[in-house]
Amino acid sequence: MSGPVPDSSGRPPGPQAGSPQAPDQASGLAASSELPPAPLAGSPPPPSGWRRVAAFFALERSIVGVLAMCILVGMGERMAERFLPVYLVALGGGPLVVGFLNALDNLLSALYSFPGGWLADRIGTKKSLLVFNLVAMAGYLIVLIHRSWEAVLVGSVLFISWTALSLPATMGLIAEVLPKSKRTMGVSVHSLIRRIPMALGPLAGGTLVTWYGPLDGVWYAFVGALVMAVVALVFQQVMIRETPRPAPPSPAPDDSGPPAAPAAASPLIGPSLRRLLVADILVRFCEQMPYPYVVIWCMNTHSLTGVEFGLLTTIEMVTAMLVYLPVAWLADRSTKKPFVVMTFVFFTLFPLVLLHSTTFWPLAFAFFVRGLKEFGEPTRKALIIDLAPAGREAAAFGQYYLWRDCIVSVGAFGGAFLWQAGPAVNLWTAFAFGLAGTLWFALRGEDLPRG
């Protein structure tokens, strides 16, 4: 039987041009070359536009729950807390009581960070945030039930604690649910969202004080704070997923020596994180020494009005918000150290620029520089949790802030004596501390490769 004769390559010839099969096969080949390949069975559909946006901004479900909690609790906190000095004076507390409350606020912010991180590592982020919200609500109830300045001081021990207690737990949650390549974005979005209640809370609280006076207005602000804390508590319990706590690895049996120490005994702040801590303390000396005197420099020394000083603060806040996300996007695609160095540079420059600013527009530039100090702040926080022991990020973050804020509180108090010697003495000393911290981290600080 005769068949098609193979060509020189040994393959049988294809259909001849003009044969009935040729047009169909040719069109089939053309069609198959134009159609996209069929998706594999079981493959997930391509992400929608919202999912792509959520992925870019690291908006995992638990992160959204924490951000909503920050807005609600922060809004209530800023509504009432910003007007506590007015409330204390109206209750007969006097200026010494106001000063004591301010000192108490700074001290508690330092002391609460580590227990907040420790509890988050022990019982998990979701349960610890529940505890922190209940503690703050108890403080609000004390102030609402007893209208006295003594009750405000007692209640403040509880409701002032929320931010310091919850921050390590929040950083621990970011470390748990986000990969290293998205942690800086997660911290940046958290820092950005926290600015919303900082801007809106005092406006709402001030409206209540204007309508009802300092006594009733602040009391109603505390009612609003309590209601928002309840809503935040429900929201966080629905949205935040409980992540399993990593169990410490079981050491392999070894008869050659004593058993290995458990993971909990490992130091929370290792050499790399300690070098960052030293630099951060020096730079925070630079920030805190002149911090309470900036408004005096602007309004008393150089006669700016309250509205003008408010505009300067707005310039600082808007600048900070504009740099958060672009820098986070870049830092997650590169190493973190250069961004931390740059934020230390802006911390260092502000006292020097402020010293040479005596009218509104030079001061506006100084506050623009002050806003740029947030350039790498989320990146610094992300670097802390990257350098922390795996599974103990919240406790390490809390201990880091405990050491930093306790030491810096001493330096901040020393700034008062420097200001008495003269504003230039204070500002030049602050600049020197900032320069020392920046150089230390630039030369000795450790970086991590891209996650």
Kindly tell me if the per-residue pLDDT of 14 is higher than 60: no
Residue 58 has pLDDT above 90, yes or no: no
395 pLDDT higher than 90:
no
When pLDDT is averaged across residues 211-217 and rounded to a whole number, the result is 85
Pairwise pLDDT comparison (380 vs 292), residue with the higher score: 380
**Three-state secondary structure along 340-373?**
HHHHHHHHHHHHHHHHCCCCHHHHHHHHHHHHHC
Q: Which pair of structure tokens corresponds to residue 129?
A: 């945030």
- Average pLDDT value for the chain: 75
Distance of CA 331 to the CA centre of its chain: 15
Q: What percent of the chain has pLDDT over 70?
A: 69
- Per domain, the residue ranges of the chain are 59-239, 269-444
What does the CA dihedral 267, 268, 269, 272 come to, rounded to 10 degrees? 90
pLDDT score recorded for residue 356: 94
| Cα angle: 176, vertex 181, 182; to 5 degrees | 65
pLDDT at 25: 47
* Residue 196: CB atoms within 10 Å: 16
What pLDDT is recorded for position 399? 84
**Lowest-confidence pick of 48-62, 121-135, 221-235, 335-349:** 48-62
Average pLDDT over residues 324-335: 71
- When pLDDT is averaged across residues 316-340 and rounded to a whole number, the result is 77
The yes/no answer on whether domain 59-239 falls in CATH 1.20.1250.20 is yes
Q: At what angle do helices 125-145 and 94-123 cross, to 10 degrees?
A: 150
In this prediction the pTM is: 0.59
Which band of pLDDT confidence, cut at 50, 70 and 90, is reported for residue 214? confident
Q: What is the per-residue pLDDT across 253-278, written as a single tens digit (0 to 9) for each?
A: 444 444 443 344 347 788 888 999 99
Mean pLDDT across the stretch 1-9?
Answer: 48
Please check whether the two domains, 59-239 and 269-444, share a CATH topology.
yes
For position 218, what pLDDT does the model report?
86
The pLDDT tens digits for 158-208 are: 887 677 777 776 766 666 666 666 666 666 677 777 777 777 777 777 778
Lowest-pLDDT range of 181-190, 205-214, 380-389, 419-428: 181-190
Fold of 269-444: Growth Hormone; Chain: A; (1.20.1250)
